[in-house]
Amino acid sequence: MVAGLVALCGVAVVGIIDSTDLALARTSLQSTADMAALVGAESFDPLTAQFDGTSLAVRLVNRQVWRAVSAFVSESSDGIHLVTASTPDSVTARVTVRSTWSPPLVSQFFPVRIQLEATGSARPNIGARSDEG
């Protein structure tokens, strides 16, 4: 009975460690997606900026967003792959990244591999000091 209790507790500890690592991997992936979205939001061509009397308006292009975000992800993150990087409305950059997670403990007994995805969005905000770029 004691051995069974200890075995049960051990399985619980292993499960908690693995789930904690999964949460950390998810947080890191979301952080990368957010940072990449900020990079995508600044991929506009400055020469195309137009002043409408009150603010400076820029337009994002899918090809430029992809190019800038792809370079950022490849340089900054190991094991993270870019899935999509586009601008659905020409003012918002939307980035989706993916990584593969496997449990740090007992992975040799349970070779589980989980695909994680995270999406981040950002808009250019020229001259303003906020986290939206």
Contacting positions for other proteins (CB under 8 A): 1-3, 5-6, 9-10, 13, 16-17, 20, 24, 27-28, 31-32, 35, 38-39, 42, 72, 75-77, 124, 126-127, 129, 131, 133
Q: Yes or no: say if 130 and 47 are a contact pair by the CB < 8 Å rule.
A: no
Helix, strand, coil % in the chain, rounded to nearest 5: 45, 20, 35
CB of 114 to other proteins, least distance (A): 19
CB of 122 to other proteins, least distance (A): 11
CB of 3 to other proteins, least distance (A): 8
Q: Report the interhelical angle of 2-41 vs 62-76 (nearest 10°).
A: 130
